[in-house]
Structure 1
Amino acid sequence: MSETHTGATPTAATPSNWNLPNALTTLRIVLVPFYGWALLYDGGDSVTWRTVAWAIFFVAMVTDKVDGDIARARNLVTDFGKIADPIADKAITGMAFIGLSIIMDNWWMWTITVVVLVREWAVTLLRLSVLKSVVIAAAQSGKWKTAAQALALGFLSLPLLEVDGWLDIPGKVTYVFAIGLLLVAFVLTLWSGYEFFRDVWKQRDRIRRPAAS
């Protein structure tokens, strides 16, 4: 006897929030205060705890990459992940910017931190609120910005100027390289922010424009 087909197309089951990508995202959020504590321990002068801070930051950056890849590959993209993932990213990088500004204690680092954080959270909040019906693809400049930020903040989390002996010169050279990367990331932050708001304006203008008769 042949099977009877109704002709209805089965709908894909909504993935549960209890999955590995969301667990990794939650881990990143949990790591933020531990990273901040290790980074600022003893005023940022502890070689041991600065190294621990770097290790925590490294784990956070790796899980950021891994959870997104797993979610897309296994179709585990959830509403929780869409909200929590950018918050986790901005929380760990924000803590890095603020912590390093406290340690370095100079006006230009604080300026970079304030500008970057305003830009990052403005873009994130806009994506999570008014852009539900507007899709803005991630620009290449935004990806470069993210990579440059991660590398710069990772290097600067290390005790590059606190080490001595044979590590003194390599530490100073790496520090200068990291500052250069930070400046590149700052420029890319401004440019990618401009591209984002420009594209938002174009999309909203296109939606509001009356259809041609």
Structure 2
Amino acid sequence: MSEHDHLIDPTPKPPPSPWNIANALTVMRILMVPVYGWLLLAEGGDDPTLRFWATGIFLLAMLTDRVDGDLARRRGLITDFGKVADPIADKALMGMAFVALSVLDELPWWVTVVVLVREWGVTALRFFVIRHGVMPAGRGGKLKTVLQSVTLTLFSLPLWVFPLPGVWQAAAWVTMALAVLVTVATGLDYLMKALRLRRTSERAAMKRERARRARRARAERP
């Protein structure tokens, strides 16, 4: 036995408990979604005070998204619950924002439909190819999230109470156009990655090899 063997702990480290601060922030973000939606839709969206509160809730929810991820990685608090709940919380918040703004007739429904189809479509793609590997979030996806966050913040604010409201509204529409373009582009990119992953993964290679052997065996039969 080496003199260092006694320093090695043979007991495997237990997985982190789902009852941790990172998951608590994720759950809090989910609970903020209906609060944000109610504040945004109340009084037909015409009360500037409620719109400011809605924007504050939205920004706080986005802050928890950043904090819970950093905490989970830094403190080793990544759990199966967090892996599932975190993207659900993000999509619920963004989905509520787009749908509420369309209900208020401040955003065309086709924009909301395009964004929601992309978001949930990419989620379905991830599950579709999970047996072949994991599709990590790329820079395009992170840029999409930033653009959507900025855009939804601007649209949530009561821009008509600001000086030069036309300038603010123009900025909101420019960022919305960019967000939609990046959303569609990254969605197509994820689709191509998913198809490529299905063709090039180790699982796909093993499946092709089994099929090749089966064809050879049939060909060699008398």
TM-score (norm 2): 0.85
Which position in structure 2 is the counterpart of 1:116?
115
SS at match of 2:65: helix
Residue 137 of structure 1 and its aligned partner are, at CA, apart by: 2.0
What residue ranges of structure 1 are gaps of 5+ in the alignment? Answer: none
Residue 174 of structure 1 and its aligned partner are, at CA, apart by: 1.5
Which position in structure 2 is the counterpart of 1:140?
139
Residue 6 of structure 1 and its aligned partner are, at CA, apart by: 10
Which position in structure 2 is the counterpart of 1:184?
178
Correspondences of 1:96-175 after superposition (within 5 Å): 96-104=97-105, 109-128=108-127, 130-161=129-160, 163=161, 167-169=162-164, 171-175=165-169
Residue 7 of structure 1 and its aligned partner are, at CA, apart by: 6.9
Determine if contact 1:35/1:56 at 8 Å carries over to the other structure. Answer: yes
Residue 12 of structure 1 and its aligned partner are, at CA, apart by: 2.4
SS at match of 2:104: helix
Residue 124 of structure 1 and its aligned partner are, at CA, apart by: 1.8
Determine if contact 1:83/1:128 at 8 Å carries over to the other structure. Answer: no
Separation in 2 of the partners of 1:61 and 1:47? Answer: 21
Residue 3 of structure 1 and its aligned partner are, at CA, apart by: 9.2
Residue 206 of structure 1 and its aligned partner are, at CA, apart by: 1.2
Which position in structure 2 is the counterpart of 1:22?
23
Residue 102 of structure 1 and its aligned partner are, at CA, apart by: 1.4
> Is 1:68 equivalent to 2:62 in the alignment?
no
What residue ranges of structure 2 are gaps of 5+ in the alignment? Answer: 214-222
CA pair 205-3 structure 1, distance change in 2 beyond 3 A: closer
Residue 10 of structure 1 and its aligned partner are, at CA, apart by: 3.7
Determine if contact 2:144/2:182 at 8 Å carries over to the other structure. Answer: yes
CA pair 10-155 structure 1, distance change in 2 beyond 3 A: same
Determine if contact 2:122/2:187 at 8 Å carries over to the other structure. Answer: yes
Indicate the structure (1 or 2) with the bigger Cα radius of gyration.
Answer: 2
Determine if contact 2:17/2:79 at 8 Å carries over to the other structure. Answer: yes
Which position in structure 1 is the counterpart of 2:42?
41
Q: Deviations over 1:65-91 (max 9, x none)?
A: 110011001110000000000000000
Residue 122 of structure 1 and its aligned partner are, at CA, apart by: 1.5
> What RMSD in Å do the two structures reach over aligned CA positions?
2.2
CA pair 134-178 structure 1, distance change in 2 beyond 3 A: same
Determine if contact 2:132/2:197 at 8 Å carries over to the other structure. Answer: no
Residue 172 of structure 1 and its aligned partner are, at CA, apart by: 2.6
Alignment length (residue pairs): 205
Separation in 1 of the partners of 2:21 and 2:195? Answer: 36
Residue 131 of structure 1 and its aligned partner are, at CA, apart by: 1.4
- Pick from 187, 195, 212: which aligns with 1:193? 187
**Percent identity of paired positions between Structure 1 and Structure 2:** 44
- In the TM superposition, structure 1's runs of 4+ consecutive aligned residues that sit over 6 Å from their partners are none
Separation in 1 of the partners of 2:47 and 2:60? Answer: 20
